[in-house]
């Protein structure tokens, strides 16, 4: 390696193929035993995929949606996956067998799903109905027949939160670490909701439509008080040319805002490495910026379409980008051997 003033070369990424249409969303599971974790990718081809989080190796495809899948998330215990689709349903799947467990019926396109931080039997949904709903899956145990007879839950059995509040489609839902707090991104507005009262307690209008809104966290074994957010999850939001960040148990304490020289379609946050990554819009590059002063540290080239989603692994050792070009790229974010990378600093080849 050169001296400290020598810029590091851009990381050589692993590329995950398999999807035939754009990838609007990717997310990781929490860390499991032996530091295992998983990644789920939503795709407009209607076939969300489960992968090994460290290597990107394909594990399986959840088959059953009849329209584009806009979002996918893994439960806190990684035993189920939830997907939001243009076919007017959200679906819940068994991650070990691939079986469809639940069909959550809606009256319009579903764009967002979210599990609580540490509860795998509840699910929040939102979309073009402009309604935030909570489905309690504990009340409807799956049938022993599994995929042969998934449980169908109508919207009438869900709880609506903040009735009449949203005036535009709900694109993202985040469940704060405080389980009584839910956050939605709808149009250019972030809203915080109190679950016990079902009321909206706060709304912040941003400079433009919110393109990305995610709660970023590290596994407890990898987090520390010196991290961004002092060991707590951080809400990362992209809107217009601004990346915004909130911390605390309710994810409502403003930490920083960065006004960038270009539009951004997505944002990811490296809590331990104290930097953030954005997908430029318009464009196909990922830009890495310093949390301390906002200076550009690196540019990642390789995608052939906009980057709609950026997610850091639960150990912080890599991050993944999902793109309009139908691929997912995984970028090393640590020193030494990791996953399929042989060793060296971030920027070492995966061959």
Please give the model's pTM, rounded to 2 decimal places.
Answer: 0.93
The pLDDT score that the predictor gives to residue 350 is 42
Report yes or no: 266 and 237 within 8 Å, Cβ to Cβ: no
How large is the average pLDDT for residues 11-40? 93
The pLDDT score that the predictor gives to residue 339 is 87
**Strand 110-114, strand 100-105: pairing:** unpaired
Higher pLDDT among residues 131 and 344, named by residue: 131
The pLDDT score that the predictor gives to residue 127 is 98
Angle among Cα 250, 256, 261 to the nearest 5 degrees reads 135
- Asked whether residue 1 carries a pLDDT value surpassing 60, the answer given is no
- Asked whether residue 10 carries a pLDDT value surpassing 60, the answer given is no
How large is the average pLDDT for residues 326-351? 76
**Strand 132-136, strand 122-127: pairing:** antiparallel
Higher pLDDT among residues 84 and 344, named by residue: 84
- Asked whether residue 2 carries a pLDDT value surpassing 50, the answer given is no
pLDDT tens per residue across span 56-107 = 999 999 999 999 999 999 999 999 999 999 999 999 999 999 999 999 999 9
First to last CA, the chain: 19
The pLDDT score that the predictor gives to residue 313 is 98
**What is the separation of C-alpha 250 from the centre of its chain, rounded to a whole number of angstroms?**
18
């Amino acid at each position: 390696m050169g001296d400290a003033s020598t810029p590091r070369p851009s990381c050589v990424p692993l590329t995950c193929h398999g999807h035939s249409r754009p990838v609007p969303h990717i997310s990781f599971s929490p860390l499991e035993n032996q530091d295992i974790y998983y990644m789920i990718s939503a795709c407009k081809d209607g076939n969300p995929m489960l992968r090994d989080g460290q290597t990107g190796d394909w594990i399986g495809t959840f088959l059953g949606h009849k329209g584009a899948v806009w979002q996918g998330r893994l439960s806190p215990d990684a035993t189920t996956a939830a997907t939001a689709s243009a076919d007017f349903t959200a679906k819940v799947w068994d991650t070990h067998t691939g079986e469809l467990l639940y069909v959550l019926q809606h009256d319009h396109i579903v764009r967002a799903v979210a599990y609580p931080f540490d509860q795998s039997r509840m699910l929040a949904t939102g979309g073009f109905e402009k309604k935030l709903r909570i489905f309690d899956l504990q009340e409807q145990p799956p049938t022993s027949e599994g995929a042969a007879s998934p449980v169908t839950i109508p919207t009438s059995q869900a709880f609506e939160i903040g009735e009449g509040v949203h005036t535009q489609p709900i694109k993202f839902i985040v469940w704060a670490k405080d389980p009584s707090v839910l956050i939605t991104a709808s149009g250019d507005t972030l809203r915080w909701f109190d679950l016990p009262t079902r009321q909206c307690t706060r709304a912040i209008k941003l400079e433009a439509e919110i393109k990305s809104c995610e709660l970023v966290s590290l596994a407890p074994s990898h987090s520390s008080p010196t991290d961004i957010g002092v060991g707590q999850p951080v809400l990362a939001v992209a809107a217009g040319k601004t990346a915004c960040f909130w911390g605390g148990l309710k994810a409502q304490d403003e930490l920083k805002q960065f006004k960038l020289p270009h539009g951004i379609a997505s944002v990811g946050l490296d809590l331990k490495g104290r930097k953030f990554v954005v997908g430029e819009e318009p464009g196909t590059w990922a830009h890495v910026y310093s949390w301390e002063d906002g200076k550009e540290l690196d540019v990642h080239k390789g995608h052939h379409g906009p980057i709609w989603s950026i997610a850091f692994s639960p150990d912080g050792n890599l991050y993944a980008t999902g793109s309009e070009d139908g691929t997912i790229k995984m970028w090393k974010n640590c020193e030494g051997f990791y996953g399929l990378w042989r060793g060296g600093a971030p920027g070492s080849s995966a061959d």
